[in-house]
Amino acid sequence: MRPDLAVLLESAASLLDRAGPLEPLHVAVGGRDIRITFAPGVPLADQRAGVDRLAVVTGSTPTHSNLGAAAATYTFSAALPGSLFLLVGTHPTISQPRPRRSTSTRATAALLRTLAPWGRALSASCVDVTELTAQDDEERLTVQLIVESDGGDPRETLRLAAVGTTGLRRCREDEAGLGARGRLPSGESVMVSVM
């Protein structure tokens, strides 16, 4: 049985609280997994420092993996209470100018907690959630929900998955699925994708 999305979101928020300030993150939850990576453009040294801080919180040891061509990752995984699984890692980065940051790890953790009631409603519905992601792009926080239509009507799946959002407008419909953008009750933008 899959854990409630709200449990995953609250567990991720708690990890961020315990780790303290980190570089901008992407936090994805789905199934029983919490996956934490860093926003594009975050220098590798800063990503590694963040991985180390999260590893300390979980009592884990990161592993450095050389990918060749001067690329490497630095990752760890950990079992969490409630049969949850955490995966944290870096990714190769391209040096690019970074905007002045107006977000924070604390704001990301607060967003995850704000999403918990929505996650609870999604878990109670007949929507098959693949992944719910909170993304910190340094200037704003955004949310993306990916759901499966399981051969049903994708429009109906979108309607069910978007419950509680406002201003929903379709932005994509093709053979891969459909997507819509809107706002969460807390004000953040959300992209809902049906595959």
- pLDDT digits 0-9 by tens, 30-55: 999 999 999 888 988 999 999 999 99
- 8 Å CB contact between 105 and 22: yes
Residue 176 has pLDDT above 90, yes or no: no
Among 159, 161, 96, CA closest to 128: 161
Q: What is the mean pLDDT of the chain?
A: 89
Q: Express as a percent the part of the chain with pLDDT over 90.
A: 54
- pLDDT digits 0-9 by tens, 128-139: 889 999 999 888
Neighbour-count burial for 67-96, b at 16+ CB within 10 Å, e otherwise: eeeeeebbbbebebeeebebebbbbebeee
Residue with the larger pLDDT of the pair 88 and 154? 88
